[in-house]
Structure 1
Amino acid sequence: MDSIIQGKAYVLGKNIDTDQIIPAEHLVYSLSDPEEVKLYGKYALSGVPTAEAGLPEGNRPFVEDGKFESEYSIIIAGPNFGCGSSREHAPFSLQVAGAKAIVAESYARIFYRNCVDGGFVIPYETAEALNKTVLTGDELKIDVENNTIANLTQEKTYTLKPLGDVYNIVMAGGIFAYAKKENLMGS
């Protein structure tokens, strides 16, 4: 199991809700048709108002126009990430867009559970307001075993709250895949 997640940061503010993560008008695509699934990636985080996003250098979109995947694989956010409705499409769209991890001060409970239960994206928590120091485009490296995130661009390292079994569940593909892999399901 690879315990390092490395990639570019995409920095957001606080209270990013599920309508901002995947706007309701994009919930019409099939979850089983590979061509339509790509559209969830294309429209991931397309509902974030630029004033709330706090993005430098012209408020760069998460996914560039005409693309289906983002160049950013680690999302840095403030408190209450994923608030709003309970749609599972939100963490799914981030996964389709190429996000590997989210590091936020806190999460809406249902969004956090959807990330883990569906095996979509690793939801890390931090006690520090990293969205105030990390910049969009910074190169980050998460060390899962040591619960740290290094900003390679700024040469700073921060502590993350331990994941417990969350990492293994997400990496297995979700709660049911994990239970099956660990022989936790009765026959």
Structure 2
Amino acid sequence: MNAGKVWTFGDNINTDLMLPGPMLYVSDEEQKNAVFAANRPGWAQIVEPGDVLVGGRNFGMGSSRPAARSLRNLKLRCLLAETINGLFFRNAVNFGFVALECPGVHAAFEEGETAEISIENWTVVNLERGTRLAIKPVPKQLLDLMTNGGVFPFLERSGLIAPVA
């Protein structure tokens, strides 16, 4: 999966912070620019493709809004969190955003450090400190959905729905 710059967030990060309610019916670009605007103004404009989110416990709590889609649209490499809220995880699978649980990850990284992630070995390494942690494996079917665009592209490739125009 390779390496990316780390951005750290704490416990109980709510989906409202990733996709505020008033942004539900605007363009993907407008949604993308609103990610974390309430708690980290301007963050969406400085995060770069391939960067990595590191979160605490219960990342993605709150409503079942498609906040994972906004993170995917920012072209983040993935989310590594102590624990991930079940609704958020399901939306990550559905929208093709890699979200993985990794006990100890929040203490193992400071913002700006580099995380090297290997899904083949289910590990993450802090390249500055040399710390190696185990990532909780995800079932192959769910990982395939997360790494190949999510449920809708899978259904299109399978001929079960018409391609989106």
Aligned to 1:79: 57
Q: Any gaps of 5 or more consecutive residues in structure 1?
A: 31-36, 51-59
From 86, 91, 96, the equivalent of 1:109 is 86
1:43 aligns with 2:34: yes
| 1:5 Cα deviation from its structure 2 partner | 3.3
Match of 1:10 among 7, 12, 15: 7
Q: 2:123 aligns with which of 132, 136, 148?
A: 148
Equivalent residue of 1:7, what SS? strand
* Number of aligned positions between the proteins: 159
CA separation of 1:176/1:95 partners in 2, compared to 1, >3 Å: closer, same or farther? closer
1:144 to partner: Cα distance:
0.8
3-state SS, counterpart of residue 88 of structure 2: helix
SS of residue in 1 equivalent to 2:117: strand
Q: CA RMSD in A?
A: 2.3
TM-score normalized by structure 1? 0.75
Identity %: 27
TM-score, normalising length from structure 2?
Answer: 0.85
Aligned to 2:98: 122
Does 2:3 match 1:26? no
What secondary structure, in the 3-state scheme, does the structure 1 residue paired with 2:36 have?
coil
Question: 2:24 is matched by which residue type in structure 1?
Answer: L
State the Cα distance separating 1:74 from its structure 2 match: 0.8
Q: What is the CA deviation profile of residues 9-53 of structure 1, one whole-angstrom value per residue up to 9, with x for unaligned ones?
A: 0101000001112222322313xxxxxx222222212223x6xxx
